[in-house]
Chain A
């Protein structure tokens, strides 16, 4: 009677099979490791429609990631955005509700986050159940009427010192630029600044084609890395869609920039040559987006949208490994 005998698979097939198992294991471990860290729910950025949190107009945000990913313990929420440094983060109250209910499951008072412009809320261990809808509600704390906030002004680099000065290393004392406001009640701005010494500045906000400032004031800039200049003023009503100019006068030379490192440099030299006068131009049309705010909740597991393409990518990685080994087998 004939016996059936299995022979060894070719080395390439064997390597591919082993690599595929390793790749899938790695993918599983990567997912598991990601579940241990922050769950980023920035996919639903918070959209502010006014220039302040008030008791009557709190900000609410559904936490859909929790709903999809199953039961979790929500430990901490971080709001990363650009807020006024006045009033203090303690003025903001965060509450978690089950949608449709009025009693909060938990509440936490804000405290300064790890970096400029972030506020942390510690909830303790709060269990959130699957297939339930929850929402986060931000409002002023007790005995506080209103918490102003500021959209981030993304300053064009060539408005900054590097673009406007004679050399890259010669920051200017004065900056002036135009913006189109996207807030209903514009009440301040935040300007990203590179590292530098402490500084202070005067600002004046004018309407388009107006000479007299609508709002003016002073603000301080702390020394160090990742600085931001915060300027707050009384809200300008019906400001959305209107054009304003901002004039800044620093006591010490200062640069303003945004975006990744190096762009200021590229920006300057991208406009030099035949148009040297462009350095002195003011910029129009800088847009205000919604407040650059990030909501991240600790705990839970990320559920990522995987399609056929991504799984094919994993299989290709395994095949790549097997073929690389096969290529070295040529060497003997």
Chain B
């Protein structure tokens, strides 16, 4: 009897039985990132034009500096976004910077940017994108992500802004995949059980609000990666046979995070925590490691603050009154709603998404997870990671609140501890980790598909114009 197998092309190409778990996480992250690359139009990453501009100038050989004073007459004559760039890049001629801004604005116009962003003014391509969104710029951001993206653009090139943007987005995809793998590895180190590690890694890979970063040119993506790596380093300090090496790596990662974005600020405390987590064999003197960690945190914190202040970071409040005002706004109901809404996922620079009722329903899953998490608290072996991750997430939430604007992308540098907490919560539900993990990942994958079709595919594309 002849057996006619199912057409083997797909089956043999895609089925590899012994593929390791981290590779599956990477594959799922790659596919989700590619979905966003296919479905997200140009310049639809939040603040993407400004991030791209910064990187593009680096790709042309200009290096950013801390920035000096700006002459009053320059501000009288030029758009603010241009003035800020000229301040940050002393070697850039005004004509070159203005031309780049015109090119980007023209590209945004070709991509019908104003029709996809509901708060955008309905104007033709302005002479500077300052006309689209007055005063926006990325020039006051720390430089690391732009230095890397600029080098990437210089390497790959591209004939048009659209082509160069698309190639620059590929680097974000690489960082996104790296983040998911790092989160998988961190959960594997903390929780040991592969099902839990897979749950953490796949949660990071399937969350639409995170996957968006895979297809945008933004420093947020690198900040999330470095946050995940910092979490991994802390876990490895606590569990690895070479804790000193991981401690050194942690210092480098935290420093890189500070040079990337202020939202990584909570990780400045990671060396102090890692010092306390140092295993007995490597401790030498426990107090010594704690003191070393505290000292490293303080030194890195001082350096980070100096860097951000010299770059006129908008994240630093101008006064205590201003900080108090921001915190008041950040703790307000509207800010929490925005945070939840963007965590569920939105497009069109956060102007389009599911209806509010659907968003609230989806957010209720956090309560379900919280119940599972509470049930794990009595388990002794989970206490260290549970405490560490819960404190890290709480600190990040407080950081977002202190900024006064609720946005999930500010929360994402704590994505790794969030995913570890999710994995822990799945352990707490009856039915066993394997069953709850499969249910969770299946539900999350279904949600990613629903979001991709309903919000991204349906919401970002336009009514025909002619």
The residues of A with any CB-CB pair to B shorter than 8 Å are 2-10, 12-13, 16, 19, 22-23, 26-27, 30-31, 34, 39-45, 64-65, 68-69, 152, 154-158, 167-169, 258-263, 265-275, 277-278, 281-287, 289-290, 292-294, 302-306, 309-310, 312-314, 316-321, 323-328, 330-332
What A residues does B68 contact at CB under 8 A? 274
Alpha-carbon distance A6/B6, docked complex (angstroms): 6
* Distance in Å: Cβ of A162 to nearest Cβ of chain B: 9
**Are B76 and A327 neighbours in the complex by a CB distance under 8 Å?**
no
Q: Which of B147-155, B271-279, B308-316 contacts A (4 or more CB under 8 A)?
A: B308-316
> What is the size category of the interface that chain B forms with chain A?
35 or more
**Are B3 and A324 neighbours in the complex by a CB distance under 8 Å?**
no
Contact of A31 among B5, B72, B126, B458 (CB under 8 A): B458
* Distance in Å: Cβ of A326 to nearest Cβ of chain B: 7
CB<8 Å pairs between A and B, sample of 10: A30-B453, A43-B464, A156-B135, A259-B135, A265-B405, A289-B124, A304-B461, A317-B448, A319-B31, A330-B198
* Nearest 4 Cβ contacts at the A-B interface: A289-B123, A313-B38, A324-B445, A43-B465
**Are B11 and A327 neighbours in the complex by a CB distance under 8 Å?**
no
**Are B1 and A5 neighbours in the complex by a CB distance under 8 Å?**
yes
**Are B405 and A285 neighbours in the complex by a CB distance under 8 Å?**
no
What A residues does B35 contact at CB under 8 A? 313, 316-317, 320
Alpha-carbon distance A43/B112, docked complex (angstroms): 8
**Are B121 and A289 neighbours in the complex by a CB distance under 8 Å?**
yes
- Which residues from 443 to 458 on chain B have a C-beta closer than 8 Å to any C-beta of chain A? 444-446, 448-450, 452-454, 456-458
**Are B11 and A325 neighbours in the complex by a CB distance under 8 Å?**
no
**Are B465 and A265 neighbours in the complex by a CB distance under 8 Å?**
no
What B residues does A27 contact at CB under 8 A? 453, 457-458
Q: Which of B20-28, B90-98, B368-376, B384-392 contacts A (4 or more CB under 8 A)?
A: B20-28
**Are B131 and A327 neighbours in the complex by a CB distance under 8 Å?**
no
What A residues does B449 contact at CB under 8 A? 19, 22-23, 26, 317-318, 320-321
Alpha-carbon distance A258/B126, docked complex (angstroms): 17
Contact of B434 among A302, A321, A331 (CB under 8 A): A331
What B residues does A321 contact at CB under 8 A? 445-446, 448-449
B322 within 8 A of A: yes
Contact of A271 among B11, B80, B453 (CB under 8 A): B80
Q: A39-B463, A270-B140, A310-B457 are in contact. Are A262 and B404 (CB under 8 A)?
A: yes
Contact of A259 among B134, B452, B463 (CB under 8 A): B134
* Distance in Å: Cβ of B440 to nearest Cβ of chain A: 9
What A residues does B139 contact at CB under 8 A? 270
B380 within 8 A of A: no
What A residues does B457 contact at CB under 8 A? 27, 30, 310, 313-314
The residues of B with any CB-CB pair to A shorter than 8 Å are 1-6, 10-11, 14-15, 21, 24-25, 27-28, 31-32, 34-35, 38-39, 67-70, 72, 75-80, 84, 112, 115, 119, 121-124, 126-127, 131, 133-137, 139-140, 194-195, 198, 202, 206, 309, 312-314, 316-319, 321-322, 325-326, 349-350, 404-405, 434, 437-438, 441-442, 444-446, 448-450, 452-454, 456-458, 461-466
**Are B465 and A270 neighbours in the complex by a CB distance under 8 Å?**
no
**Are A43 and B135 neighbours in the complex by a CB distance under 8 Å?**
no
What A residues does B137 contact at CB under 8 A? 270
Alpha-carbon distance A273/B326, docked complex (angstroms): 19
Alpha-carbon distance A272/B140, docked complex (angstroms): 11
What B residues does A287 contact at CB under 8 A? 123, 126-127, 131
**Are B3 and A5 neighbours in the complex by a CB distance under 8 Å?**
yes
Q: A69-B464, A274-B68, A277-B72 are in contact. Are A154 and B24 (CB under 8 A)?
A: no
What B residues does A16 contact at CB under 8 A? 10
**Are A314 and B453 neighbours in the complex by a CB distance under 8 Å?**
yes
Alpha-carbon distance A281/B76, docked complex (angstroms): 8
**Are A65 and B463 neighbours in the complex by a CB distance under 8 Å?**
yes
Q: A30-B457, A259-B134 are in contact. Are A275 and B463 (CB under 8 A)?
A: no
**Are B75 and A278 neighbours in the complex by a CB distance under 8 Å?**
yes
* Distance in Å: Cβ of B291 to nearest Cβ of chain A: 34
**Are B202 and A324 neighbours in the complex by a CB distance under 8 Å?**
yes
**Are B318 and A268 neighbours in the complex by a CB distance under 8 Å?**
yes
* Distance in Å: Cβ of B218 to nearest Cβ of chain A: 15
* Distance in Å: Cβ of A5 to nearest Cβ of chain B: 5
* Distance in Å: Cβ of A33 to nearest Cβ of chain B: 8
* Distance in Å: Cβ of B420 to nearest Cβ of chain A: 17
What A residues does B1 contact at CB under 8 A? 2-3, 5
* Distance in Å: Cβ of A281 to nearest Cβ of chain B: 5
What A residues does B75 contact at CB under 8 A? 278, 281, 283
Alpha-carbon distance A5/B10, docked complex (angstroms): 19
What B residues does A324 contact at CB under 8 A? 28, 202, 206, 441-442, 444-445, 448
**Are A305 and B461 neighbours in the complex by a CB distance under 8 Å?**
yes
* Distance in Å: Cβ of B81 to nearest Cβ of chain A: 10
Contact of A10 among B15, B76, B121, B445 (CB under 8 A): B15
**Are A328 and B198 neighbours in the complex by a CB distance under 8 Å?**
yes
Q: A2-B2, A292-B122 are in contact. Are A41 and B463 (CB under 8 A)?
A: yes
What A residues does B76 contact at CB under 8 A? 281-284
Alpha-carbon distance A39/B25, docked complex (angstroms): 40
**Are B461 and A294 neighbours in the complex by a CB distance under 8 Å?**
no
**Are B10 and A289 neighbours in the complex by a CB distance under 8 Å?**
no
**Are B21 and A330 neighbours in the complex by a CB distance under 8 Å?**
yes
Alpha-carbon distance A309/B456, docked complex (angstroms): 13
